[in-house]
Amino acid sequence: MEQQPLDYNRAISIAEGTYWIGFYDAQSGLHCNPYLIVDGNEAVVIDAGSRPDFSTVMMKILEIGIDASSISALIYQHYDPDLCGSVAHFEDIIDRADLKIISDKENNMFIRHYAVSSRLVSIDSIDHVFQFSSGRKLQFFNTPYSHCAGSFVTYDTKTRVLFTSDLFGSYGDHWDLFLSLCPECLTCRDPETDMERCACDRAYCPIPDIFRFHRMIMTSEKALGYAMRIIQEIPVAVIAPQHGSILTDPRDIRFVAQSLALLKGVGIDRIV
């Protein structure tokens, strides 16, 4: 999938019935990745995106061939405006009284300030599971303070895609939707300083940008390490972050997760 030419002006399939519906901005170092899951006549949007990106995101949803009214839930894995800014626009175009806005209770106290009119549902109140009409399940795992108190990740039990929000994210001038590391990357002792001796002969190494993003965004080494321990217990096939690039190779997923679990100088630990 990652070796094929990708048209970022259209929705891109990342797994069965699962699509990246983001806006590619060549001028931005921070790429946002909203996702759509379609299950029969029902759909769910995860981390739907900012207000400026709404027209692009909704156009991609419609191009897939589903009606906006088939979206039964909007899932927000934390409360930042790059995820939640377009929620009122989604409510208007979906136009259904039973639309659910699903997040952690710690997030809902902030999400309501986006002029939300739909029912706010906490993941606690639904036993950390959203179930489609078909029986397909999304499971929610709390990753507190990575980077918000109410942060969590969403696991699709059918496709084994884990939507990780800011975790596994990246910030930088180089971006591709899919990231694939070469075997030598997995044995690199210090990717932040070893670019001159890069065994893969890459002009750009994506790992330092991933580290830099987590040091800047996550609250502490302890919070990030806890989140990685949670994630490493989940049988993941695909990592789909809200920023940065998607990981599909089990070796790459394991390497990045282990590296982040041991990362130093994160958040407050960078200062204190």
pLDDT tens figures, 180-198: 887 777 776 666 665 556 6
Q: What is the pLDDT of residue 1?
A: 42
- Percent residues over pLDDT 90 in the chain: 75
Token output for 59: 């156009």
Q: pLDDT-based confidence at 216, cuts 50/70/90?
A: very high
pLDDT, the chain, mean: 90
Asked whether the beta carbons of 163 and 46 are under 8 A apart, the reply is: yes
Q: What is the pLDDT of residue 144?
A: 97
Q: What is the pLDDT of residue 117?
A: 94
Reduce the DSSP state of residue 57 to 3 states and report it. Answer: helix
- Per domain, the residue ranges of the chain are 12-270
Residue 83 has pLDDT above 60, yes or no: yes
Residue 170 has pLDDT above 70, yes or no: yes
**Residue 6 CA neighbour count, 13 Å, CB half:** 18
Q: What is the pLDDT of residue 175?
A: 78
Residue 4 has pLDDT above 70, yes or no: no
Q: What is the pLDDT of residue 2?
A: 45
Residue 225 has pLDDT above 90, yes or no: yes
121 pairs with which residues across the strands? Answer: 102
CB burial of residue 215 (10 Å; 0-12, 13-18, 19+):
middle
Q: What is the pLDDT of residue 65?
A: 93
Can you tell me the mean pLDDT for 254-260? 94
Q: How far is CA 168 from CA 69, 86, 271, in A?
A: 31, 23, 22
Residue 61 has pLDDT above 60, yes or no: yes
CATH node for 12-270: 3.60.15.10
Distance CA 25, CA 171 (A): 13
Q: pLDDT-based confidence at 136, cuts 50/70/90?
A: very high
